[in-house]
Structures are given as structure tokens and as C-alpha cells.
Structure 1
Amino acid sequence: MSDSLDEALLRGLVPGVLGVLVRRGADFAAAEDAVQEALVEAVRSWPADPPLDPRGWLVTVAWRRFLDATRSDAARRRREDVVDVEPEPGPVPDVDDSLHLYFLCAHPSLSPSSAVALTLRAVGGLTTRQIAAAYLVPEATMAQRISRAKRTVAGVRLDQPGDVGTVLRVLYLVFNEGYSGDVDLVAEAIRLTRQLAAVMDHPEVAGLLALMLLHSARRPARTAPDGSLVPLASQDRTRWDTAAIAEGVQILQTALSRDRLGEYQAQAAIAALHADARTAEETDWVQIVEWYDELVRLTGSPVVRLNRAVAVGEADGPHAGLAALAELDPSLPRYAAVSAHLHERAGQLSTAARFYAEAAVKATDLAERDHLTRQAARLNTSSGG
């Protein structure tokens, strides 16, 4: 460690440290509080006095904080015969509990928002303040959410296998939140998914990591200097991160070679086809439709069918896309935006303008709302509406 603390390294140690405390007999909620206190102490003391064994240092300090809290809590006196023992000096056993913690934080009894918050805190090592700032909610609100989540999983043992699909959905939720405040949740989601991939050999974990890398690679081109949204077809592709694309494609190819296709691998394959096209016109839409067909088979998701309609419109023409769209529920999110795009490509400008305006009203993201409003205004002007 140098004068500038490597916070990513510090946060990367959190799952292992938390797992040691839980294995020694600490309940999850108390152990997680103790680890957070140790992190605060590390931020204060490490720049001036870096430890030779950072993980061992965190385990020692967190365990002492846990013991101090337990001794001062009269309601837990009966448990002191289990936990009120200082471990023997020496190196901390190199047992990786990260995988169990991922499953615990994505427990089915938790709501998606609670699972995300607990994952960022317990596995990611973020503070409650950082998580609250990233999600634009008051710190007290986030603290309550995390406390409830910790109470919910307090009695869940770490020796039971969990559902990898639930873990991946939680990580994907983190990724899709983007970034705000001083915490970049895109980068955090990629870091946590890398960490999961290091302890779990599963093609869908690799597929999700590839998908994140491929989507993240386009971030620099997604917004104009004034903050407005730039659609994929209009993006300056020289601004895409070619190193992230190359890594994502390599990870995806390795995962696909195992012949255990899942939804994240299929989504990553679509993202890879977009990344492979030097211009929007060179996009292999026919193959993208085939991958969407696989995704529909895997998920049956109406949202996937909606995105497939866009791809069909590019591969087979806007009228084919509109025919595919007509089979779906108009109340789907982004239905109006897709309808507007396809009607515009079909030359039906007044109808397209009406759908763009409808989509703008329904949009929850400000940048997207502004973009859709501008599209409606553009078409109304060009059609004399």
C-alpha cells in the first residue's frame, strides 16, 4: 500500500474477512458490522502504516470489534462461551467464503433492492453512505434497508448451495443502475462479477462478465458533450473501449465452447455482434435475430420479444418488425419507443411522432425522455405537424 489507499484492493478482501468471522461463530449481521468498522480503521491507518498482511490485519481488527460489541451486549451473554475466545496467533487459514456470501446476499427471501444493497455492502465493501449516494436515497433509508436485509438472512447457514441465477440477476441489477455520486456501479458490478468468476467455474457467470464488459465498452460514446443520449446507430465507434471488447469476446467464446448456453451468454453474443460491426450499416442483424430467437427460447421474456422486433425490423424490413411487434402487449416498457422507431423506418412519420411523444411521457430516465421528446419534435417539424 502507498500513501494513496487502494480502495478496490481493500474492498476485494471483504468477503474473505467476513467469511472468517462467520466461520468462527459470529452471526452474519454482527460480523458484517465489525468488518465495516475494520474497514473504517484501515482507511484511517493504512496510508501511514500499511500492514504486511492486509487480510490478516482486517480479520484481527474485525474480530476484536466483534468481541467488544458482543461483550457489551447483555442480551448476548449466553453466547460468550462460543465467541469470547481470541484465536491463536498466526496466519489466517486460506479458505475462500466469497461464493457462499454471494448466495447469502442474493437469498430468495430478500427483495431485489435489498439483495442489491446487501451485496454491495457485505460483498462489495461499500459503506452505507456510498450505496445511498449511488441510489440517490437518504443514508437513513439505505441503512434501514440493509439492516432489514441482514436480519432476514441472520439465521441462514453459509453451507447450503444457492441459486446462481439469483446471484447473477442481483449483479446485473447493480450493473444496470449505472453510476452516480462517487460510486461507479458499472465498474463495481464488473469487479464483483470478476470476483465471482474467480471462485465459480460456470459458463453463465462468464457470460454475464462478458456482457458487462461489452456493454461497458460503449459507455464513452453513449452521451454527447451536452449530456444528451446518443443512440447506438449514431455513436462514434472510435470511442468504444477496444480492450474491453476484446476481453469480453474472448471470455464469451470460451463460455460458448462449453455448450451450456444460458441467457447471459446469448445476450453477450448479441452485444458482441454489435461491437464487431465497424459501422451501424455493417451490423449482422440476421444473426442477431437468431440469437434473440435463442433468448426467447431460454427466457420467454416479453422484453426479449420486444427487442427481437427491433432486430427483425432491421433484418427483414420495418413492416416485418411491426408485425412482430403487433404480437406483444402495448403496455410493455419501451413498447411505444420501439413502435415509433419502426413506424419512422416505414415512412409513417406522423404515427411515429405520436409514439415518440407517448414514449417520452412514460420514460423514467431524464436523458431518455429528452431524447424521445426531441425525436417527436423532429418528426412533427419534418411532417408539418
Structure 2
Amino acid sequence: MTAEREEALKALLDRPGLHKVFAALEGDELRIVGGAVRNALLGQPVADIDLAVAAEPQVVVEKAERAGVRVVPTGIDHGTVTLILEGAHFEVTSLREDVETDGRRAIVRFGGDFAADARRRDFTINALSVDAQGRLYDYVGGLDDLATRRVRFIGDPQQRIAEDYLRILRFFRFSGIYGEGPLDAEGFAACIAQRAGIANLSRERLGGEMLKILASPRPCAVVEAMSKAGLLSFLGVAPWPARYRRLTALLETRRAADALLSLASLALHSEPDSERLTESLRLSRAQKRRLAGMAKVAAAWHGAGEAPAAAHLREQLFLHGAQAARDGLMLVQAESPAAPEDQEFLAADAFLRDTPAPKVPFAATDLIARGVKQGAGLGAGLKRLQAAWIRAGFPQDPKTIAALIDESCGADRRDSAPQESGWTRPRH
């Protein structure tokens, strides 16, 4: 083992509370497994620490409680308990093997073979383990794949996928985070062959994995490969990879990351698509509202080849708010021929970011005071007044407001519908 690896694993083992976990379960072989080892060796942040132990769950519970460690039976039927101490949480799972699986859930049997436990995992880079003395174990070639940044299934890829169809999406997510170069050909082919199994997954799991894929460090190549292979049909909306690639370039230029906006660039063509995506991926109500808002703004500016003028920016800011206006502007730029660093679009985004939304300087009582009766006529009058106020450029001075109110009250009632925005689509 290289000195660099030894140092990385020593730092991992020195995490607060971990020595006490090893001490509490002394007598049964215990190792750190999976993502914590992988990330430590890559020099990347380690969030959660998972451990595997050659003891049945009840033995783990009894030993931990005798040592004064708080135990939470988070998944005890499948051999997992969570140990909590010194403000840290450690998931400890008894070594096991799958007896039966339907691609979503597995019946397991507990055992004591770390090599067998490694072989039942998904990818080689996730099957590394390290014991309390810092000894590193690699049964499936994970170290070599980690060195070459290759995401590869353990054993037969089709068998691994059949055990859990979520591994199709995980293959692309991990390739986006840890992979470099082309996707592993055998794994990619297996994902295509088994893609019908995606229909067995819950919408929550599909949504969670998709947003994680879009948030990965190199999402474009991964998403475009999925699109070409027909692996995005679960979105319920036809993908638009070219716009997605341009939006990704925009976000990179601004040193930003936004998985939901990335999803919109990939699959949001109109406001109804916000409903479809919410249903397909079981998104939250807040996410749905955000998608619907940006869709309205993007529709208002659809086809623009240059940044909208300040008056039109202010209009969408007023109608839909800063978040929707900025999101919609990004989508429109991603559809346009404008470069990611286009100064006019950057200035437009800064305007939306820094400009307060106009406040309405009138109310229904202003119309009632001029003789407009409550009811449908009052609502129509307010709509006409708001449209006139927008066209006038959102004035705030009382004299202009009074004139607009008078004009609205005296308008021809036969033309009671609010007028359209003054937005004119620029030529490309």
C-alpha cells in the first residue's frame, strides 16, 4: 500500500466516535465498507461511514448497548442498525447474501464471509473495505478501477441489474461522479438490455436518482448516452439533450449547479410538462411550482435570439417573480444562439437578480370610488388597469396612476379582456 493510501485510511479511521464503535464490537470482525473507503482513497469528502460486521444483528445490538452506545434498529430485518455516539451516526450491517430477489427487494441470509459480501455489491469501486488496523481489502479489482476512473459492475452486469433495477440509474450516476472517458461498454450494454426493469422502480427512486445524475460533475455525456439508448422514457416527456448541453455550459460559465433547472432544460417544453415531470418523478409541490413558473416565462420569451429589454424583464419579474424570471431567462438563452458568456444575457440576469419586483400602486377600492360596482365588472376593470400599468412601464407617481385608473374606468366595456404584453420577439 502506498504512503498516500495509508494516510488517507488513517484519517478515515480517526473520525470521531469510530474507535469506540470498533471497541464496542470487539471480538467480531468489523470493517468500514463502500463509499467511505472509496472517497477517502480519492481524497474526496466522506459523509456517512458504513460498516460491515461478521455477527448477526442481535449480537451487534447487545454488544453496543453494553458499551453504552445508543442503537437505532433502522433496518434490522435486513441486518442494519445505526449506532449513535459523539454526534456521529454509523450504519452497521451484518454480512449477508441474497437468498431471493425480485429486482426491488431481497430476502437475505446472514453470514461471515467478507469476500462473498463484496461480490454481492454493485460496482467494484464500492466493494473495498478496511479494518481497524487500516488493512485494505479488495476482492474484485476495485483499486485498479478506481485508479483508471472506471465504473464497472461486479461479475455479470445483467445479473447485478436483475437483483436491483435501480442499479441501471446508479451506473450512470456513479459514472458521472467517478468515471472518466467512455462508459464501461459491458455495463452500458447490460443497462440497455435490462431497461424494461426500470418500470419496476418507484417514482420517488427514479426522481431521486435522476436529480443526482443531473448534479454529477460530468452529466452531459452520461445524460446524452441515456437519451440515445432510450433510457429516459420514464420522464414521460421527450428529452431535449442539445438544450440541456447548452444549459450545462451556461451553469459552468457562472460556476453554478442546479439539478432542477437542468431537468427543465432536458425535459420542460411547456407548462403542462411541469405536471408530467412531477407525476413521473414524484417531485415536491415546491419543485412543481418552480417548473411551472419558469415554463411561463420561457413561453413568453420563446424564440428570442437576444436578451429581452429591461421593460420586458420587469414585466416577467412582476408577473412571476425573480426565481421564475431568472430560470426562464436561462432556458431561453439555452435555446438561443447566444454564447454562454453573452454579456447582454448576463446583464439581464443581473437585472432580475438585483431589481425589486414592481409593487401595484392601486387596489379595487380605487375603482369602486369611481363608481365601478363589485362583481365581474370590477375584476375585469382591475385586469384592464393592470395591463395598462404594465404597458406604461410600471409607473408609481400618483398623477399617472390616477390617469390610468380614469382611463380604465372609462374604457369601452366591449373590450374588457386584458391586452397582451408589449413583448416583441427579436429577430435572430
Query: TM-score, with normalisation over the residues of structure 2?
Result: 0.30
Structure richer in strand, relative to its length: 2
Bigger RCO of structures 1 and 2 (CA < 8 A, at least 6 apart): 1
Query: TM-score, with normalisation over the residues of structure 1?
Result: 0.32
Q: Name the larger-Rg structure.
A: 2
Structure richer in helix, relative to its length: 1
